[in-house]
């Protein structure tokens, strides 16, 4: 766990993940479209991973936090879904995760861990986030497939988040925020630091692979 790449690692959950690994003494490279190691995971995965591995002197852990953050996808009615909007989430959240994982696996010569990111609407459904949830459902399936394909050398696990207090909450109306909070038995949104602890566990635990860890304050009671 000494050399870590966090995609989407300059803000929100990704930034908290990067800080958590650094606190454990890891060397961390973060990537995003606008800062850190710049690049779009849907287009530049091989280059991003190669540059990170070169900078770190190898790669032990990949955490795939990069994803689409667009309010029009979250509040999109089924009749408003277009092929372009559908592909926007699929390319970044699903293809980008796969492409980065594939590139990382080729550079984990001593073995390693890959952590992907999904969301509870992909597991139980929701009234919002249709296109986003479908892409995240693909990430859950991808995690299981890669866990089998890459075992025993590389472990692959997923963390499915509930309502974590990051920039997406700005898209919600006061009514939506009240509705979301009321559905959480622990009575509040999660914090990015709590999300990071889950990613850290999946990267560290040597007998966990192919699993989807749900972190949602009890919302799904899964």
Return the pLDDT at 128: 84
CATH number at residue 110: 3.40.50.720
How far does the chain reach from its first CA to its final CA, in angstroms? 28
pLDDT, mean of residues 121-148: 95
Return the pLDDT at 127: 86
pLDDT, mean of residues 23-33: 97
Q: Which residues contact 2 (CB under 8 A, 6 or more apart)?
A: 25, 26, 27, 60
Q: What is the pTM of this model?
A: 0.95
Please name the helix (run of DSSP H) or strand (run of DSSP E) that holds residue 158, with its range, or none.
strand 154-161
- The three-state secondary structure class of 18 is helix
pLDDT, mean of residues 103-108: 98
What is the percent of the chain with per-residue pLDDT over 70, rounded to a whole number?
Answer: 99
CA distances from 72 to 54, 80, 117, 127 (A): 37, 10, 20, 14
Task: Name the E strands within the chain.
Answer: 3-7, 27-32, 37-38, 61-64, 112-119, 154-161, 212-215
Task: Quote the number of domains for the chain.
Answer: 1
Does residue 222 have a pLDDT over 80? no
List active site positions: 132
pLDDT in tens, 41-53: 999 999 999 999 9
- Band of residue 61 on the pLDDT scale cut at 50, 70, 90: very high
Return the pLDDT at 171: 79
pLDDT, mean of residues 1-18: 95
Report DSSP state, residue 36: B
**C-beta separation of 156 from 150 below 8 A:** yes
pLDDT, mean of residues 1-24: 95
What is the percent of the chain with per-residue pLDDT over 90, rounded to a whole number?
Answer: 85
Return the pLDDT at 220: 94
| CA–CA separation, 222 and 214 (whole Å) | 7
Neighbours of 220 (CB within 10 A): 15
Residue 47, domain member (yes or no) = yes
- The three-state secondary structure class of 134 is helix
Residue 116, domain member (yes or no) = yes
CA distances from 42 to 90, 92, 99 (A): 9, 5, 7
Residue 221, domain member (yes or no) = no
Report DSSP state, residue 31: E
Using the Cα atoms of residue 69, residue 204, residue 2 and residue 108 in order, give the sign of their dihedral.
negative
Return the pLDDT at 1: 62
Residue 222, domain member (yes or no) = no
> Which domain covers residue 33, as residue numbers?
3-215
- The three-state secondary structure class of 124 is helix
Residue 64, domain member (yes or no) = yes
| CA–CA separation, 222 and 220 (whole Å) | 5
Does residue 169 have a pLDDT over 70? yes
| CA–CA separation, 62 and 105 (whole Å) | 9
Name beta bridge partners: 158: 116, 212
Residue 128, domain member (yes or no) = yes
- Band of residue 183 on the pLDDT scale cut at 50, 70, 90: very high
Residue 20, domain member (yes or no) = yes
């Amino acid at each position: 766990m000494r050399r870590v790449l966090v995609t989407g690692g300059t803000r929100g959950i990704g930034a908290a993940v990067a800080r958590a690994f650094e606190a454990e003494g890891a060397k961390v490279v973060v990537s995003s479209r606008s800062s850190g190691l710049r690049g779009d995971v849907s287009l530049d995965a091989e280059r991003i991973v190669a540059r990170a591995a070169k900078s770190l002197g190898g790669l032990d852990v990949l955490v795939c936090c990069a994803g689409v953050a667009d309010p029009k996808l979250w509040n999109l009615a089924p009749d408003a879904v277009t092929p372009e909007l559908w592909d926007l989430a699929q390319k970044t959240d699903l293809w980008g995760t796969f492409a980065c994982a594939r590139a990382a696996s080729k550079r984990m010569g001593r073995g390693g861990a890959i952590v992907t990111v999904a969301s509870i609407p992909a597991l139980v459904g929701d009234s919002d986030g249709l296109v986003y949830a479908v892409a995240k459902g693909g990430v859950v399936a991808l995690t299981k497939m890669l866990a089998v394909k890459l075992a025993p050398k590389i472990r692959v696990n997923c963390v499915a988040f509930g309502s974590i207090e990051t920039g997406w909450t700005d898209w919600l109306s006061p009514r939506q925020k009240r509705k979301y909070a009321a559905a959480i038995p622990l009575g509040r949104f999660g914090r990015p630091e709590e999300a990071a602890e889950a990613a850290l566990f999946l990267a560290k635990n040597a007998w966990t692979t192919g699993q989807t860890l749900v972190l949602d304050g009890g919302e799904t009671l899964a």
